[in-house]
Chain A
Amino acid sequence: MYGLSAILNIARGAMNANQLAMQVISHNMANVNTPGYTRQKVVLETQVPWNLNRLKVGTGVQVDSVIQCFDRYSTRAIIQNTSSLKDYESKALVLSTVESLWNETEENSLSQILDEFWNAWQDLASNPGGTAERTALLGKAEILTRRFNSLSQELGQIGQNLNTNLRAGVEEVNRLTGQIAALNVRIRTAEASQTTANDLRDQRNQLLEELSGLVGITYLEQDDGSLTVLTREGLLLVNGNESWDLSTEGTSIYYNGIENDVSDRLTGGKMGGWLDLRDETLPQYLANLDEMAGTLIQEVNNLHLAGYTLSGGTGMYFFKDFQVAPGVPNAGDYSGAAAYISLSSDVLGTPENIAAGGISGAPGDNGNALSIAALQTDGSLVIRKWTITDRGQSTTSNPQTGSLYDYYQGLIGELGIFTEDTNGNQDFTQSLLDSLAGVRDSVSGVNLDEELTEMMKVQHAYEAASKVISVVDQMMQTLLDMR
């Protein structure tokens, strides 16, 4: 086909193509702020030329496809690093609460309370018969035991809050995997006709990114366009149109209703962070706090038992004695000691029963008070240092020789450095994600100025095509006007 009507056809085709291009441009501009939106582009191509004898005559333009400007590499890297970022972020948030429990930068910190406890023993040594000194010592000891109790309780509370978070996280994972499976179906259907379902894919990637923020995942795209999603540890979450739910029961997380805890197969993301804290970090701090309280009970009681009260009695406990009973710390196992530590019934309310005396309990006998006060700086105590890893599967202890202070300062230093590291990792991962997002946006982000330029280009092409129509019209008129 050639001639004037062919030209009209070319012009009409050009107008159609540019109109479509304009639609894509306006779609881009409209979604400039849509999270996860990938810039789209019209691919134009020439129509099949017309053979006119030995000539090949062009027949205009047509739209080949509307494609996404999508960078697979940076998208995958973003999804992986989102898991790391959310992992660090959730840890940093909880650790900031944990470090504020140990308010060592403030007044009334545990170390100050400990100092005052030992100083009260020294005051008693300066006046072993004094009722005021004895009463003051009991007061300081009670403040100390309550601090241990409340630290233990608050660490436990943080663990419980994490369980609440985890339950909400599981719900969220189920919602996301369900939606991804649903989108798999729609994408598969839409792409059956050899086109790409751009906007549906954007939605699915957005869900994938959200999911990776909750738990570390890997994914692969099948030939039919559907996505298979697994946790990093290989739990299958989505395949084609199917998704498998997680559920919670107490502190356990079940997969597909099977009553077998899979929490150790969830790493990365917020949930991975929470699980690490719940099963490693918090139990470790609690175990070491218990160790400290247990050592205090053991050492003070040992000396106290041998001392003499004001009335000459002996064999009195200062702290409530360990008992062999389930759930109660004993001489060999201090777990739970921080929650357990309290004054014994021997001395509670009976300050005369504090065994300040070393040989008789005479009102001037301060021998035992001096010995107990000297525990403060006794660097020969052997205290177990616990390390809990592998989500609580591996619990090891390592005896350390030193004073209670050395031990406690070690704990505080460790917590501080862990928090500092986590914050640092969070900042680093955030920067990495920012630059990855920059890389992704350099391919798929919408730039308004660019779209406006494209718009002018398309507008001019459209105007030119309409100009062609009016010229052809004139040419036809000329033809018809011939006589």
Chain B
Amino acid sequence: MMRVGTASIYAGIQLRLQRMAADLKSLNEKIASGKNLNRLSDDPIALVEAMKFKTAARQMDQYGRNLNTAASWFTASESTLSQTLDLVGRARELAVQMSSSSQDAENRDAAAAEIGDLLDHAISLGNTDLSGRYIFSGFETGTAPFTKIVVGGVETAQYNGDTNDFQVQVGKDQTLTVGRNGQTVFMDSGLFSTLGGLKKALEDDDLAGIGTQLENLTSVENYLNSQIADIGVRHNQAQVRENILSQIQFELKDQLSRVEDADIVEVMIQLNAKQLTYQAALAAAARVSEMSLLNYMD
């Protein structure tokens, strides 16, 4: 049999109560913060996991923001190009009408004036900006990309931008071209020179010239259509990417919550159990201290 010192009975009671109080405190902390991890040493492995999830979530947020920028560029580019196509359609209509020999010079002059307006309009479409940034001037977003010039009596536009495309990051080592430069989108289509040439042909009542420009308009239309398709593909890529990102975001939040958030019900049950043990220990401590031979001595 092992002897027990009176003082060590009390020391034991104190120690056990203290340990239980520490457990109660930690459970209470979990309930108050709603989190399992309240300091590094609570669970270092889980904490590092949680850090990874949080950083990944912030990256996804950023990619999402970049995709928002991209979306507004795509929308602006698409609507600019489809308006340009409409404009080219109107020009074709006029050209077809005016290529008939039944039209007189007066009508052709009126048509030439309208084509002139269409050219101005096409230039201003090329100068579309998003909150002050020209979207078709390559990196020179502060410079209006197109200005009207006259070359050899024919009106056209000159390109003031550069040939760089605007890209944003949409994933680790993944960039997406968001804005194509105006050289690629407009200049290479021959839009401006065709409209200028058409205007000149109408003014000169040059039927053969009108016919040539009509053919040119077809190739401009084809070119612009392929540009719209190109933007459409990338816009679609961006949307797919955005869907993937929000899926990943959801997964990350779910995983983070699994690592980091306390299961309140579970913790409450643990707290109740601890509470019960604590009360039992208190009761036992009170009983033990009542017991003494002194109670039976006179």
Q: A99-B41, A446-B7, A447-B6 are in contact. Are A122 and B62 (CB under 8 A)?
A: yes
Is A453 part of the binding interface, using a Cβ–Cβ cutoff of 8 Å?
yes
* A452–chain B nearest beta-carbon distance, Å: 4
* B11–chain A nearest beta-carbon distance, Å: 7
Whether A416 contacts B35 by the Cβ 8 Å rule is no
Nearest-neighbor residue (CB-CB) of B15 within chain A = A434
Interface residue ranges of B133-180 to A (CB < 8 Å): 133, 137-142, 162, 164, 166-169, 172-173, 175, 179
Whether B167 contacts A370 by the Cβ 8 Å rule is yes
Whether B40 contacts A119 by the Cβ 8 Å rule is no
Whether A409 contacts B6 by the Cβ 8 Å rule is no
Q: A32-B7, A364-B140 are in contact. Are A412 and B292 (CB under 8 A)?
A: no
Give CA–CA (A376, B169) in the complex, Å: 12
Nearest-neighbor residue (CB-CB) of A110 within chain B = B51
Whether A417 contacts B175 by the Cβ 8 Å rule is no
Nearest-neighbor residue (CB-CB) of A370 within chain B = B169
How many residues does chain B have at the interface if contact means C-beta atoms less than 8 Å apart? 55
Of A416, A442, A449, the residue contacting B292 (CB under 8 A) is: A449
Is A179 part of the binding interface, using a Cβ–Cβ cutoff of 8 Å?
no
Chain A 353-373 interface mask (CB, 8 Å, partner B; 1/0): 000010110111110001001
Is B184 part of the binding interface, using a Cβ–Cβ cutoff of 8 Å?
no
Interface residue ranges of A242-295 to B (CB < 8 Å): none
Whether A127 contacts B133 by the Cβ 8 Å rule is yes
Is A64 part of the binding interface, using a Cβ–Cβ cutoff of 8 Å?
no
Whether A129 contacts B162 by the Cβ 8 Å rule is no
Is A115 part of the binding interface, using a Cβ–Cβ cutoff of 8 Å?
yes
Q: Across the interface, which residues of B come within 8 angstroms of A415, CB to CB?
A: 40, 44
Give CA–CA (A431, B21) in the complex, Å: 16
Which of A129, A415, A441 has the most chain B CB atoms inside 10 A of its CB? Answer: A441
Interface residue ranges of B24-62 to A (CB < 8 Å): 35, 37-45, 47-48, 50-52, 54-55, 58-59, 61-62
Is A96 part of the binding interface, using a Cβ–Cβ cutoff of 8 Å?
yes
Whether B48 contacts A416 by the Cβ 8 Å rule is yes
* B69–chain A nearest beta-carbon distance, Å: 4
Which of B11, B40, B50, B66 has the most chain A CB atoms inside 10 A of its CB? Answer: B40
Whether A360 contacts B139 by the Cβ 8 Å rule is yes
Give CA–CA (A66, B61) in the complex, Å: 80
Q: A126-B66, A363-B133 are in contact. Are A453 and B142 (CB under 8 A)?
A: no
Give CA–CA (A376, B62) in the complex, Å: 12
Whether B142 contacts A420 by the Cβ 8 Å rule is no
Which of A95, A105, A415, A445 has the most chain B CB atoms inside 10 A of its CB? Answer: A105
Nearest-neighbor residue (CB-CB) of B181 within chain A = A364
Whether B58 contacts A116 by the Cβ 8 Å rule is yes
Q: Across the interface, which residues of B come within 8 angstroms of A119, CB to CB?
A: 58-59, 61-62, 65
Give CA–CA (A33, B4) in the complex, Å: 14
Q: Across the interface, which residues of B come within 8 angstroms of A96, CB to CB?
A: 39, 41
Chain A 86-124 interface mask (CB, 8 Å, partner B; 1/0): 000000000110011010110001011011101100110
Give CA–CA (A109, B39) in the complex, Å: 12
Give CA–CA (A302, B76) in the complex, Å: 36
* B49–chain A nearest beta-carbon distance, Å: 9
Which of A116, A420, A456 has the most chain B CB atoms inside 10 A of its CB? Answer: A420
Of A115, A442, A443, A456, the residue contacting B55 (CB under 8 A) is: A115
Of B40, B66, B167, B175, the residue contacting A105 (CB under 8 A) is: B40
Nearest-neighbor residue (CB-CB) of B16 within chain A = A434
Whether B169 contacts A122 by the Cβ 8 Å rule is yes
Is B297 part of the binding interface, using a Cβ–Cβ cutoff of 8 Å?
yes
Of B11, B51, B66, B294, the residue contacting A122 (CB under 8 A) is: B66
Give CA–CA (A376, B56) in the complex, Å: 11
Q: Across the interface, which residues of B come within 8 angstroms of A112, CB to CB?
A: 54, 58
Q: Across the interface, which residues of A come within 8 angstroms of B3, CB to CB?
A: 441-443, 445, 447, 450
Q: Across the interface, which residues of A come within 8 angstroms of B269, CB to CB?
A: none
Whether B169 contacts A111 by the Cβ 8 Å rule is no
Of A115, A370, A437, the residue contacting B58 (CB under 8 A) is: A115
Whether A446 contacts B38 by the Cβ 8 Å rule is no
Q: Across the interface, which residues of B come within 8 angstroms of A452, CB to CB?
A: 292-294, 297
Whether B7 contacts A126 by the Cβ 8 Å rule is no
Is B2 part of the binding interface, using a Cβ–Cβ cutoff of 8 Å?
yes
Nearest-neighbor residue (CB-CB) of A362 within chain B = B139
Is A234 part of the binding interface, using a Cβ–Cβ cutoff of 8 Å?
no
Give CA–CA (A167, B65) in the complex, Å: 55
Nearest-neighbor residue (CB-CB) of B5 within chain A = A445
Is B101 part of the binding interface, using a Cβ–Cβ cutoff of 8 Å?
no
Q: Across the interface, which residues of A come within 8 angstroms of B40, CB to CB?
A: 99, 102, 104-105, 412, 415-416, 419
Is A377 part of the binding interface, using a Cβ–Cβ cutoff of 8 Å?
yes
Whether B292 contacts A448 by the Cβ 8 Å rule is yes
Is B8 part of the binding interface, using a Cβ–Cβ cutoff of 8 Å?
yes
Of A129, A413, A438, the residue contacting B142 (CB under 8 A) is: A129
Whether B52 contacts A447 by the Cβ 8 Å rule is no
Give CA–CA (A116, B173) in the complex, Å: 18
Q: Across the interface, which residues of B come within 8 angstroms of A456, CB to CB?
A: 297
Whether A448 contacts B51 by the Cβ 8 Å rule is no
Give CA–CA (A412, B292) in the complex, Å: 54
Whether B4 contacts A441 by the Cβ 8 Å rule is yes
Give CA–CA (A111, B55) in the complex, Å: 7
Give CA–CA (A444, B47) in the complex, Å: 47
Whether B7 contacts A416 by the Cβ 8 Å rule is no
Whether B41 contacts A423 by the Cβ 8 Å rule is yes
Q: Across the interface, which residues of A come within 8 angstroms of B11, CB to CB?
A: 437
Chain B 242-255 interface mask (CB, 8 Å, partner A; 1/0): 00000000000000
Which of B4, B55, B59, B141 has the most chain A CB atoms inside 10 A of its CB? Answer: B55
Q: Across the interface, which residues of A come within 8 angstroms of B7, CB to CB?
A: 32-33, 441, 445-446
* A184–chain B nearest beta-carbon distance, Å: 27
Give CA–CA (A366, B168) in the complex, Å: 8
Nearest-neighbor residue (CB-CB) of B141 within chain A = A364
Whether A448 contacts B6 by the Cβ 8 Å rule is yes
Of A39, A365, A366, A413, the residue contacting B48 (CB under 8 A) is: A413
Whether A129 contacts B141 by the Cβ 8 Å rule is yes
Q: Across the interface, which residues of A come within 8 angstroms of B52, CB to CB?
A: 405, 409
Whether B44 contacts A417 by the Cβ 8 Å rule is yes
Give CA–CA (A104, B297) in the complex, Å: 62
* A325–chain B nearest beta-carbon distance, Å: 35
* A361–chain B nearest beta-carbon distance, Å: 9
Q: Across the interface, which residues of A come within 8 angstroms of B45, CB to CB?
A: 413
Q: Across the interface, which residues of A come within 8 angstroms of B38, CB to CB?
A: 105
Chain B 6-21 interface mask (CB, 8 Å, partner A; 1/0): 1110011001000000
Of B8, B41, B65, the residue contacting A441 (CB under 8 A) is: B8
Closest 4 CB pairs of A and B: A445-B5, A416-B44, A364-B141, A416-B40
24 A-B pairs whose Cβ atoms sit less than 8 Å apart in the complex:
A104-B40, A104-B47, A111-B51, A111-B55, A115-B59, A118-B59, A119-B58, A119-B61, A119-B62, A126-B65, A360-B139, A362-B140, A365-B139, A413-B45, A416-B40, A420-B42, A423-B41, A437-B8, A441-B7, A447-B4, A447-B6, A448-B293, A448-B294, A452-B292
**Known interface pairs A115-B54, A374-B173, A442-B5; 7 further A-B residue pairs with C-beta atoms within 8 A, sorted by A's residue number:** A99-B40, A123-B62, A125-B168, A374-B169, A412-B44, A413-B44, A447-B4
